[in-house]
Amino acid sequence: MEFVAEIDIMPHTELLDPQGNAVLQNMKYLDIHGVLNVRIGRHVTMAVEAGSAEEAREKVEVACQKLLANQIMESYQYILNPK
């Protein structure tokens, strides 16, 4: 069975996000007012072939922990759907 994980990897809320702040500061030059906060992270879509949702979830977990997210600075969350 094929599953698709939609993974969001974001900087921890306690940490500064210079990229997000740069975007926030520049909103006014685009005449966009009322933006309170911007945080920028990564979005990963990952298609996995696995026997069960449980098995697919395990692969996604390992990929997030070992390769995709730097857990010192980032947290991740994902949803897993059958394709």
61 backbone dihedrals φ, ψ, rounded to 5°: -60, -50
Q: State the greatest distance between any 2 C-alpha atoms of the chain, in Å, as a whole number.
A: 51
- If one asks whether residue 53 binds a second copy (CB under 8 A), the answer comes out as no
Q: Which two tokens stand for residue 79?
A: 């949803």
- If one asks whether residue 16 binds a second copy (CB under 8 A), the answer comes out as no
71 backbone dihedrals φ, ψ, rounded to 5°: -70, -10
Residue 10: strand pairing partners:
75
List the one residue from 41, 53, 57, 75 that touches a second copy (CB under 8 A): 41
- If one asks whether residue 79 binds a second copy (CB under 8 A), the answer comes out as no
Smallest distance, a second copy to C-beta of residue 54, A: 13
- If one asks whether residue 30 binds a second copy (CB under 8 A), the answer comes out as yes
Binding positions for a second copy, rule: CB under 8 A:
2, 6, 8-10, 20, 23, 26-27, 30-50, 59, 62-63, 66-68
